[in-house]
């Protein structure tokens, strides 16, 4: 693991620890939720239980946001370096291309602002593992084991559900998330 990778891992771990300690030391009241002033008046309308759950789950959302976007960047950087910036056309699996096209079309039909110019941003988390798997010739030099990568990505995708869809993670699932994130960073240590 390079010095830069170790620094990034340290920063990610520090952010997670800070979020955990903040949630322990401070009960959530409407005035302590970090939102824009025009939204603040709406937050007071929700019950304290809902506000507390939102604050508790926000730390896991932040962690997963960083992790998922880091995985997307790893994929894009690796494939761009090997095949150039237009790698998508020749090296993305068909299922990822179909999902991307469907999501782009859905956005166009809804007349919303496009989320990205990058096709990779239009695929689900589950497709990220498929892209890695179908390009293992490159990722095999970065990640330690293909089966382990599949298991970790499956576990992360399962844990992502309640995080991304406004659910609540049970305490044992919080433990599982922490271990699975550690597993991901262990995979990044590369083949031994």
Q: Is the CB of residue 134 less than 8 Å from the CB of residue 177? A: no
Q: 70: closest CA among 130, 19, 5?
A: 5
Q: Is residue 84 part of a domain?
A: yes
* Mean pLDDT to the nearest integer, 168-183: 96
User: Per the structure block, which two tokens stand in for 72?
Assistant: 């997307």
User: If pLDDT is split at 50, 70 and 90, which confidence band does 6 have?
Assistant: low
Lowest-pLDDT choice from 13-22, 79-88, 148-157: 13-22
Count of residues in the chain: 192
**What's the total number of domains in the chain?**
1
pLDDT above 70 covers a percentage of the chain that reads 81
Q: Which is more confident, 14 or 186?
A: 186
Is 128 within the bounds of a domain? yes
Model confidence, pTM: 0.78
Residue 44: inside a domain, yes or no?
yes
Round to whole Å and give the CA distance between 120 and 146: 21
Q: Is 179 part of any domain?
A: yes
| Averaged pLDDT for residues 54-60 | 93
Q: Supply 144's token pair.
A: 């330690």
Of 120, 82, 88, which is closest to residue 104 (Cα–Cα)?
120
Question: Does 7 fall in a domain?
Answer: yes
In a domain, 156, yes or no: yes
Integer Cα distance of 12 and 136 in angstroms: 26
**Residue 179 vs residues 81, 159, 163: alpha-carbon distances, Å:** 30, 11, 16
Q: Which domain holds residue 117?
A: 3-187
Average pLDDT, the chain: 88
Tens-place pLDDT, residues 101-157: 999 999 999 999 999 999 999 999 999 999 999 999 999 999 999 999 999 999 999
Per-residue confidence at 25, pLDDT binned at 50, 70, 90?
A: very low
Q: Is residue 192 one of the residues assigned to a domain?
A: no
pLDDT of residue 4: 72
Q: For the chain, what is the radius of gyration of the CA atoms?
A: 19
- Stretch 88-101: mean pLDDT, rounded? 97
């Amino acid at each position: 693991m390079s010095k830069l990778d170790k620094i990034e891992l340290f920063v990610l771990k520090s952010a997670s620890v800070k979020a955990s300690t903040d949630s322990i030391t401070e009960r959530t009241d409407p005035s302590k939720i970090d939102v824009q002033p025009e939204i603040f008046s709406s937050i007071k309308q929700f019950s304290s239980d809902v506000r507390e759950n939102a604050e508790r789950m926000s730390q896991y959302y932040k962690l997963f946001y960083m992790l998922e976007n880091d995985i997307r960047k790893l994929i894009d950087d690796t494939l761009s370096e090997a095949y150039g910036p237009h790698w998508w056309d020749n090296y993305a699996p068909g299922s990822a291309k179909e999902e991307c096209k469907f999501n782009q079309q859905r956005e166009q039909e809804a007349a919303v602002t496009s989320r990205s110019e990058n096709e990779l941003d239009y695929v689900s988390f589950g497709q990220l593992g498929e892209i890695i798997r179908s390009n293992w010739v490159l990722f095999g030099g970065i990640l330690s084991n293909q089966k382990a990568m599949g298991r970790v990505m499956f576990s992360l995708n399962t844990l992502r559900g309640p995080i991304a869809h406004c659910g609540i993670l049970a305490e044992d699932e919080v433990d599982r998330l922490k271990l699975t994130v550690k597993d991901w960073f262990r995979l990044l240590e590369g083949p031994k």
